[in-house]
Amino acid sequence: MSVAEELDCRGMRCPLPVIHLARALPGVAIGDVVRVLATDPAAAVDIPAWCRMRNQEYLGEPAEGAYDVRRRS
Amino acid sequence: MGGYFDAATATPLHPVAREAMLAALTDGWADPGRLYPEARRARQLVDAALSVVAEILGERPERVHATPGGGEAAGYAVAGVRRGRRRIGGTVVRSAVEHSSVIKAVGGDAVEIPVDRLGRVSADAFAAAVREPGVAMAALMSANHEVGTRQPVAEVARACHEAGVPLYVDAAQTVPWEPVPTGWDLLSMSARKWGGPAGVGFLVLRPGVRWVDPRPALPPVNIPLLVGAAAALRAVRADADRQAKRLSALVDRIRAVVPAGVPDVEVVGDPVDRLPHVVTFSCLYVDGEALLHALAREGFAVSSGSACTADTLRPSHVLAAMGVLTHGNVRISLHPGTAEADVDRFLAVLPGVVAALREEAGVSGL
């Protein structure tokens, strides 16, 4: 799986990583993956929750502090 | 007081508690352990207060122990059973959404039972875990303090009973409103949650539970606080049915009106099988701390499970266990002094507050 865009949100506090993800996702093609790097512990909960609310696909945490999201719509 | 919506942390002192405490300050100053008349008076106050609490629970007074708070009661419950059942094992089976004082009391030797999106444990998963060897006890709250969801205590209690494992129920949030679910072996509660004073909790033990008092020495009883706690509980429970119905209808209204007026908001917890006075929601893209301050400027005191509002900067373990949004989180908990007009004013103000914060952060329409 290739990552179309990587967002470096390390050091940012929630809700900023989710806001960056929401801004970036429409910029990639449907089916592409955006990776969010975040150190805020809330990101581990809020990124999957955002995907559920926005009907995007949360792919998981491939490494600690990295969260992959596939644009579904 | 009209905008005070944090009763699940501390409910405003009940006027009856205040009166009872003032009287006890005058009458209950002596050491209840002595033999002279002043001591007898103090002892009578203690006995009467414990009897009131016991009667409300349908228990005998000697099974009710006053503690310095609900958190302390949790600590004594867990430590005492671990001592009493040392030969069986030290593991405690608990839900993922217990109060932080219970989680801390249990520590690392724990089996954590996950919850669903509504914040409820599966009774089957709980039952399977208590059947494993080495389990000292199980801990399950009657209802969750952050999202209001009630837990299947009676069902879990049957499984615990069959497995011979004592069940500790943290009933802090339900005791002001309703009878405790059946089947518990140890119960804790906190007077601050029902309009009693801060600094008093209770631990109640059913007969037959192997509990060895972990306290090195019994602390002196704070008689005025104990008397105030009992007086408030009696007063609150006398009016509980009416208040629970009234507040539950207000919560229903909040649950319906907030998502209608605020875009991108998630109201969490069970909408029906829940506490009468607690409702929690999260606003997408909004900073929880900024939201709390903005509501405070409008005269509303609420709490939040968002990381930025916690000392630890970690999000609420309850919201995390449920897998729901943790930022922009607001918990509203009502109390008998809450008027319908207070809720109306909150509902009128909230959409503008959230919209202004989103505008400021440049996330409107995102």
Q: Which residues of B are catalytic?
A: 308
* Residue of A16, A20, A39, A45 to mutate when probing chain B, most B C-beta within 10 A: A45
* B246: Cα separation from own chain's centroid: 20
Strands A33-38 and A5-9: parallel
CB contact under 8 A, A46 and B325: yes
pLDDT at A22: 97
DSSP codes, B178-212: SPPPTT-SEEEEEGGGGTS-TT-EEEEE-TT----
DSSP codes, A30-61: TT-EEEEEE--TTHHHHHHHHHHHHT-EEEEE
Buried b (16+ CB within 10 A) or exposed e, B51-85: ebbbebbebeeebbbbbbbbbbbbbbbbbbbbebb
List pLDDT tens digits, range A25-35. Answer: 999 999 999 99
Amino acid letter for position B312: T
CB contact under 8 A, A14 and B315: yes
B315 has a chain A CB within 8 A of its CB: yes
Q: Which residue, B278, B194, B191, is CA-closest to B226?
A: B191
Amino acid letter for position B200: V
Residue in B313, B314, B327 nearest the CB of A15: B327
By the 8 A CB rule, do B8 and B276 touch? no
Q: What is the DSSP letter of A28?
A: S
CA dihedral angle for residue B354, residue B144, residue B99, residue B114, rounded to 10 degrees: -100
What are the angstrom distances between the C-alpha of B121 and each of B118, B133, B248?
Answer: 9, 21, 23
The three-state secondary structure class of B98 is coil
As a whole number of angstroms, the distance between CA B239 and CA B235 comes to 7
Q: How many CB atoms lie within 10 A of CB B217?
A: 6
B286 has a chain A CB within 8 A of its CB: yes
ipTM: 0.96
The β-bridge partners of B40 are: none
As a whole number of angstroms, the distance between CA A7 and CA A66 comes to 10
> What is the pTM for the complete model shown?
0.96
Q: Which residue of B has its CA nearest to A54?
A: B264
Amino acid letter for position B239: D
By the 8 A CB rule, do B223 and B25 touch? no
pLDDT beneath 70, residues of chain B: 1
List pLDDT tens digits, range B331-340. Answer: 999 999 999 9
Q: Which residue of A has its CA nearest to B285?
A: A15
**pLDDT of A39 higher than 90:** yes
**pLDDT of A1 higher than 90:** no
Give the mean pLDDT of A42-63: 97
The three-state secondary structure class of B115 is strand
Q: Which residue of B has its CA nearest to A42?
A: B315
Amino acid letter for position B159: A
By the 8 A CB rule, do B289 and B309 touch? yes
B366 has a chain A CB within 8 A of its CB: yes
Q: Which residue, B184, B190, B177, B187, is CA-closest to B275?
A: B177
Contacts of B324 in chain A (CB under 8 A): 45, 49
CB contact under 8 A, B285 and A15: yes
